Chain A
Amino acid sequence: MISLPPGIIILVGALALPLLPRSAQAIGALALPAISLAQLLFLSEGVFPGIELAGLSLLQVRVDPLSLAFGYIFHIAAFIAALYALHVRDTVQHVTAMLYVGSAIGAVFSGDLITLFIYWEITALASVFLIFASRTQRAYQAGIRYLIVQIGSGVLLLAGILLHYHDSGSLSFDQLIGPDGNLSDASAGVWLIFAAFGIKCAFPLLHNWLQDAYPQATVTGAVFLSAFTTKLAVYALARGFPGTEVLIGIGVVMTLFPIFFAVIENDLRKVLCYSLNNQLGFMVVGVGIGTELALNGAVAHAFVHILYKALLFMSMGAVLYRTGTIRASDLGGLYRSMPWTAAFCIVGAMSISAFPLFSGFVAKSLTMSAVAEGYYMLTFIGLLIASAGVMEHSGIKIPYFAFFGHDSGIRCKEAPWHMCLAMGAAAVLCIAIGWFPQPLYALLPYPVVYQPYADFGHSVTQLQLLLFAALAFVVLKRTGMYPAEQASLNLDTDWLYRRAAPRVIRKIVAVSRQVGQAFLRTGSELGRTLMRLVLNHYGPEGTLARAWPTGSMVLWVAVLLGASLILFYL
């Protein structure tokens, strides 16, 4: 059992889940990550050969601190999400959720690029069923769009791997970028792999599949989705592209632009998706700087982010589950009905905002120190603005509009016990990591000398930043300058392929149809004129087809004969 590649137990177990009675499937899904985690704890570090195929070693397993850190958190997230989904009686969701988890874990431990590609595609195929499982028309269409983007990323990855293999003769999944971190010197294959990772990591302009698809997922499906796909991409970037300088710029843009969309978004799970996008930016900056401190920051951020983002998705999922809506314009005042969910949500909100003594603070401080120590001043300023943005949409907006604000009059039951248990577990971890960051730091790929609470001034200034941002919110709210929530939808880059592209295609079809019709019309007009000409000469009434009387024929023959006779005697 110990020599099995990580993730395989969950994958095989997922396929066996339908054999269980329907009521036991959820418990089976809960057991799988626990068993797999037990296996992981016994794995020793190193690269283990897989199967030899056509001279290539495939299905390699690499266990090192980087893959282990992601492996542990993926297991913890899978367990918490499965606990949250304990009430679900839907075989499709349990099976695909576990296939998704197993393949994400498998991808993290893959030592070669082909194995990575195989798992990369399974995550895409399995996860889309968590969107389809909502069984609405909108979810179906969003799922199809999601699948096209994800499979597209897989195709780019495969093409990139093949080109890279052609150039370098290596399939091993190591650092792909050169030591100077300059992408423009890299080969075409490496570029394609970078683009494939970028799509999954929701780089700016490639991001919108995330905000399009995740809010359409089921209550429990969104919790799974929030944890794995994008963090797998962060892992892949940390593995293949540490120190790639262009990532710093990409990351800063990623932290900044989603916050404006989050301000005006009405669907609170979509707000969380924009927030997720913004958080990924911090990790991408860390990978881009590429120093030991920065990479530690990226990994630590991914670790704690999975917990508090899952916690926030769980709390909003519980609201959706109990009230049937997640629109900010329909919600408010729910703390009366769902006090526990509200409390857990606030813990998640304070963690993501990086309040001192919460998990976000101990992780984000690593990245921020790495940025400052590298004297990336503009990046530092950008991330400070983004930090205020996180406070706005995740720290204040999510809990305020769902649980406080104006009373919507909705009175419902508290979330079911297992949801509260799952949220409680995540909340306890968020606080525990905030108080005692050392166990987390011990998991990071490089030794950590950083102590987040050694500099008391840092905690004070961070609190200043957050509380004065909150003060600005209060001022905006009191003066009525804060935009009112209203049932609406905001355009994003998905407009390009949902509206603009179909419109352009429809236009092209219409124009070419018109051109074709004009062509046909002219053609038949020409043909008709030609036929008329032919008919005039050769038709039944035509000159050459005229019937002549026999008498005139004889007369003309006689004339001709006479004429030839005269010519003969002349």
Chain B
Amino acid sequence: MIFRIFLCLCAALVIIEIAVHRHVIFSWEGWPGFYALWGFVSLFAIVILGKYLGQLIRRDEDYYDD
């Protein structure tokens, strides 16, 4: 239920964006839905890359204790 409301909110934001005037400096900023896509892809990539980093550097909690 909460997830559905959340999805509607996301969709509403993309629709609102088309209606409002945007002040952009870089042209790609103005592409409709750019920020939405950017946010989604960034977090997705961060978590996946973080996961790989974890495989590399994860140790036991008492690694430094001995």
- Inter-chain contact A373/B37, CB cutoff 8 Å: no
- When chains A and B are docked, how far (Å) is the Cα of A497 from the Cα of B54? 20
Q: Is the interface of A mostly helix, strand, loop or mixed?
A: helix
Chain B residue numbers with a CB within 8 Å of A472 are 39-44, 47
A392-B46, A467-B13, A492-B57 known; A461-B40 Cβ under 8 A:
no
Partner of B50, one of A263, A375, A380, A464: A263
Inter-subunit contact A389/B42 (CB<8 Å) = yes
Of residues 48 through 66 on chain B, the ones whose CB sits less than 8 Å from some CB of chain A are 48-51, 53-54, 57-61, 63-65
Q: Mark A526-557, 1 if CB is under 8 A from B, else 0.
A: 00000000000000000000000000000000
For residue A391, CB closer than 8 A to chain B, the reply is yes
> Which residues of the partner chain A approach B34 to less than 8 Å between Cβ atoms?
461
A471/B6 contact (C-beta < 8 A), A377-B26, A388-B46 known: yes
User: Would you give the shortest CB distance from B29 to chain A, in whole angstroms?
Assistant: 8
Q: Which of B10-48 contact A (CB under 8 A)?
A: 10, 13-14, 16-17, 20-23, 25-26, 29, 33-44, 46-48
Contacts of A467 in B (CB 8 A): 6, 9-10, 13, 36, 39
Chain A residue at minimum C-beta to C-beta distance from B14: A464
Does A490 sit within 8 A of B, measured CB to CB? yes
Residue of B nearest to A455 (CB): B23
- Choose among B13, B14, B35, B64 the residue with the greatest number of A CB atoms under 10 Å from its CB: B35
In angstroms, Cα B23 to Cα A457, docked, is 7
Q: Is the CB of B26 within 8 A of A464?
A: no
Stretch in contact with the other chain, from A50-58, A79-87, A95-103, A479-487: A479-487
| Bound form: Cα–Cα A476–B46 in Å | 11
In the complex, A252 Cα to B46 Cα: how many Å?
15
CB-defined contacts of A471 to chain B, threshold 8 Å: 6-7, 10, 40
Q: Total number of A-B contacts with CB less than 8 angstroms?
A: 148
Chain A, interface residues (CB within 8 Å), range: 35 or more
- For the complex, give the distance between the alpha carbons of A263 and B58 in Å: 12
Chain B nearest Cβ from A283, distance in angstroms = 21
A263–B46 CB distance below 8 A: yes
| Complex contact B14–A389 (CB within 8 A) | no
A365-391 CB contacts (< 8 Å) to partner B: 372-373, 375, 377, 380, 384-385, 387-389, 391
Cβ of A195 < 8 Å from any Cβ of B?
A: no
Q: Which of B35, B51, B53 contacts A465 (CB 8 A)?
A: B35
Within A445-466, the residues touching B (CB, 8 Å) are: 455-458, 460-466
Report how far A384 CA is from B25 CA in the complex, Å: 14
Determine whether the beta carbon of B64 is less than 8 Å from that of A498.
Answer: yes
Q: Using known A-B contacts A465-B39, A476-B47, A489-B59, determine if residue A372 contacts B17 with beta carbons closer than 8 Å.
A: no
State whether B43 touches A391 (Cβ < 8 A). yes
**A250 at the B interface (CB under 8 A):** no
Question: Given that A488-B58, A489-B64 are known contacts, is A465 also in contact with B26, CB under 8 Å in the complex?
Answer: no
CA distance A391 to B36 in the complex (A): 13
Query: Can you list 24 A-B contacts with CB-CB less than 8 angstroms, sorted by A residue number?
Result: A261-B53, A263-B51, A263-B53, A264-B51, A264-B54, A377-B26, A391-B39, A458-B23, A465-B35, A466-B39, A468-B38, A469-B39, A469-B42, A469-B43, A471-B7, A471-B40, A472-B44, A473-B47, A476-B43, A476-B47, A481-B48, A483-B50, A483-B51, A488-B60
The 10 closest A-B pairs by CB, nearest first: A263-B50, A388-B42, A457-B22, A264-B54, A465-B39, A468-B39, A469-B39, A461-B35, A469-B43, A472-B43
Could you tell me which B residues sit within 8 Å of A by CB distance?
A: 3, 6-7, 9-10, 13-14, 16-17, 20-23, 25-26, 29, 33-44, 46-51, 53-54, 57-61, 63-65
